[in-house]
Amino acid sequence: MFRFKRLYGFMIQSFLPVFLMTFFICLFIVLMQFLWKYVDEMVGKGLELSVLFELFFYAAVTMVPLALPLSILLASLMTFGNLGERLELLAIKAAGVSLLHVMRPLIFVVGVISVLAFFFQNNVLPQAQVKMWTLLYSMRQKSPELDIPEGVFYDQINGYNLYVREKNHKTGIMRDMMIYDMSQGFDNAMIVMADSGLLKTTPDKKYLILTLYDGESFENLKTDRTNSYTNIPYRRETFSLKELLIPFDANFNRMDEGVMSGQYIGKDYNELRVTIDSLNCIVDSMSVEFTNKLNKSGYFSIYSENIPTDSAARAKTIERDLEAAQKIDLDSLWMGENNQRRQLYLSRAIERANSYRVDYLFNSITQDDTRHTIRRHQIELMKKFTLSLACLIFFFIGAPLGAIIRKGGLGVPIVVSVILFIIYYIIDNTGYKLARDGVWEVWQGIWLSSAVLLPLGIFLTTRATKDSAVLNLDLYADFFRHLFGKDKVRKVTLKEIVMVAMEPDVAYRRAEDLTRQCRSFIANNPRLKYAGYWLKGYDLNVIQDLATSVNSLVEYTSETTHRMVATKLMDYPVIVAERILSPSHIKPLDILAMVFVPLGVPMYLIANKRYKNLIKNIESVCQCNADLMVLLQRIEDDNRTNK
C-alpha cells in the first residue's frame, strides 16, 4: 500500500514553487518573442487595450506547449541542484535512500502534468489557436491609424496619396496640401492642390471628410468612347471651400471564427482522425480515377471505356486492346495521306498531348495539395502526444543533471537549460519541416526530437543513480589527451604534515629495483614486426606490473615534506597498459585482421607509435629514478649529519 512519506512532501514542496516560477518566466519570454514577431501587425492601428489584452491572453495559451517543457527542465535542474549544493541530497543518500526513490514523488507530479498537457493540447489549445489567429488576421485587415506625416507622401489611404508640407498639431490644420485621387483608376486620376485643409472622421468611422480651403483641382474626363490619347478632355476647378468624402473604414471588424475552426489548428483528436480518413479516401478515389484515365487513353481512343476492376479481367481487356492497336499500320496510313492531312494529324496529336499533360499536371497538383493537408493534420495529431512525452523526457534529463552538477540558483541551471532547449528546439523544428514538406514520414519528423533526447535522459538517470562522475572534466581531458597522443600528467601535492614519513634508504632501494625492472623490460621486449604484432602482441601483464611499480614508488615517496622530492615525483610519467598494444588473442580474428591490410596496417602503425611512446616513458622513469636517488642520498646524508 502506498504511504505518503515526509520525504515526498518535502520534494513536492521544493519542486512546485520553483516550477510555477519558471513556468511563468518561460511563458513571459516566449510571449515576448511572439510580440516581437507580430508587433508590426498591432502598432499604429489604434487598437483598444481590451483587444490587445485578449490577443496576448490567447497567445500566452498557445505558447504553453513551448514553455512547459523548458520550465520542467529548469525547475528540476534547480530543485536537485539546490539539494546537492546544500548537501541535503547527500544526507538523503547517506540515510540509504536512492536517487530514484527521491525522484518518485516528482515523477508522479510530472506524470500528472503530462496527462493534463495532453488534455490541454486536445481541448483547450485548438480553441485558443482559433481565437488568436482570428484576432491576428482581423488586425492585419484593419486600416492603420490615420497619422499624416509632414514633407512626405502618405499612401495608407486606399486609392489616395496625400502630401502635407506643414501641420499644426494643436489645431490639426494642414498647409500646402497636394492630393492624388486615383480611386477611379490611373487614367482618371484627379489632382487637388489646396492652401490648407482639415481632416476628420465620420461618427461611424467609415469615411474621412477632407475639408480644403483656397485651392484648385484637375481631373481627366476620359470615357470609354475616348480612344485618342492626344486629345483627352479635363476639368479644372478653382475653389475657396471643397469637401471630399473618402471611404476609410477605421473600425475593428472581427473575422468569423468558423473559417479558422475548420482548419487543422482548430480540431481535436477525434476531428483530426475523421478528417485524415476522409482526405485519404479522397486521394485514393482520385488516384483510381486518374489510373482509369491513363488506362483508357491510347491510339485514337480505341481502348475500352469500362475497365473491369478484377485484375484478371483487367489484364485480358488491356491485352485485347493492345492487340487491336498493334494491327493498325500507322506508317501506311501516314504515307497514304497528303501534306494537308498530315499537318492536321500532327496538330491534333499535339493538341491532345497538351490536353493530357495539362490534365495530369492539374491532377498532380490537386493530389499534392491534398496530401499536404493530410500531413498538416497528421502533424497536429501527433503533437498532442509529443508535448506529454517531452515533459517526461526533460524531467529525466533535468533531475539527474541537477544531482550531478549540484549547483542551485539561476546561474548554471539557466545556462544548461537554455543550451539543451535550443538543441531540442532545433531538432524539433527540423523534424517538423521535413515532415511538413514530405521529405520524411510524419511520425519520423515529429518524434525525432524525442528519439534524440530520450537516450540522453536514460543515460543521465543511469549515471546519476550510480553516482558516476559524468561531468568530471578531468576524465574528459584525459580521454582527449590520450586520443591525440598526449600522456597523462602526474599530480603530487606537497604535504605539510606526514603521519608516517618515508624512509630515504627504503625509497632509494625501491628506485634501484624499479630501474632494473625498466632496463629488463626494454631489453626483453623489442619492437615487434607486423606479423609478430598480430600473432603475439606485447605482454600487457608485464606493462601493468611496471606501471604498478612506478605508482607504488611515487605513492610511497610522496609521504615527505621535502619540496624538491615532491617536485621530482611530478616528473614521473604515467605508464598505461594500452589495449591496442595487444590484439584480441583470438587467433582466427588476429589472422583475419593481419590479412585484411586496410584494417591491419593502420592499427599496427598506431600500436607501433604508442609502443615507442611507452619506451620513451620508461626511459624517462629511469632518468627520474637517477635524479631521485641523488636527492634521497642527500637527505640521508643530512639526517646522519644532524644526528
Residue 281 grid coordinates? 479516401
Write the CA distances from 84 to 79, 345, 405, integer angstroms. 9, 88, 8
Mean pLDDT within 7-28: 88
Please report, for the chain, how many H helices and E strands are present, in that order: 21, 6
Residue 130 grid coordinates? 482559433
- Supply the pLDDT for residue 308: 56
Distance between CA atoms of 174 and 167, rounded to whole angstroms? 4
Give the model's confidence band at 506: pLDDT under 50 very low, under 70 low, under 90 confident, else very high. confident
Q: Which residues contact 536 (CB under 8 A, 6 or more apart)?
A: 528
Predicted confidence (pLDDT) per residue in 175-225, tens digit: 888 888 887 766 677 888 888 888 887 776 777 788 888 888 887 766 555
pLDDT for 563 beyond 70: yes
pLDDT for 70 beyond 80: yes
Distance between CA atoms of 167 and 290, rounded to whole angstroms? 66
pLDDT for 487 beyond 70: no
- Between 13 and 312, whose confidence is greater? 13
Note the Cα 353 to chain centre separation in Å.
46
pLDDT for 413 beyond 70: yes
Taking residue 321's Cβ as centre, other Cβ atoms within 10 Å add up to 18
Q: Are the C-beta atoms of 384 and 443 separated by less than 8 Å?
A: no
Query: What are the DSSP calls for 443-466, one per residue?
Result: HHHHTHHHHHHHHHHHHHHHHHHT
- Supply the pLDDT for residue 549: 92
Residue 612 grid coordinates? 615507442
pLDDT for 2 beyond 60: no
Mean pLDDT within 434-460: 88
- Supply the pLDDT for residue 519: 92
- Supply the pLDDT for residue 327: 67
pLDDT for 147 beyond 70: no
Residue 104 grid coordinates? 518518485
Distance between CA atoms of 536 and 520, rounded to whole angstroms? 19
Per-residue 3-state assignment (H helix, E strand, C coil) for 47-114: CCHHHHHHHHHHHHHHCHHHHHHHHHHHHHHHHHHHHHHCCHHHHHHHCCCCHHHHHHHHHHHHHHHH
- Supply the pLDDT for residue 197: 85
Distance between CA atoms of 607 and 596, rounded to whole angstroms? 16
pLDDT for 469 beyond 60: no
Strand 160-167 with 190-201, pairing: unpaired
Mean pLDDT within 267-294: 82
Mean pLDDT within 23-42: 82
Q: Are the C-beta atoms of 638 and 608 separated by less than 8 Å?
A: no
Mean pLDDT within 458-473: 72
Residue 75 grid coordinates? 525547475
**pLDDT-above-70 percentage for the chain:** 81
* Polymer length in residues for the chain: 643
Residue 335 grid coordinates? 504515307
The listed range with the strongest mean pLDDT (125-139, 197-211, 251-265, 424-438) is 424-438
- The DSSP secondary-structure symbol of 268 reads -
Q: How high does pLDDT run on average in the chain? A: 80
- Between 44 and 169, whose confidence is greater? 169
- Supply the pLDDT for residue 154: 78
Give the model's confidence band at 562: pLDDT under 50 very low, under 70 low, under 90 confident, else very high. confident
pLDDT for 240 beyond 80: yes
Among 564, 569, 543, 567, residue whose Cα is nearest residue 554: 569
- Between 131 and 486, whose confidence is greater? 131
Mean pLDDT within 10-20: 88
Beta strands (DSSP E) in 183-259 are 190-201, 207-220, 234-247
Cell 493530410 belongs to which residue?
Answer: 374
Give the model's confidence band at 623: pLDDT under 50 very low, under 70 low, under 90 confident, else very high. very high
Domain ranges of the chain: 6-141+381-465, 153-247, 284-373, 480-642
- Between 302 and 420, whose confidence is greater? 420
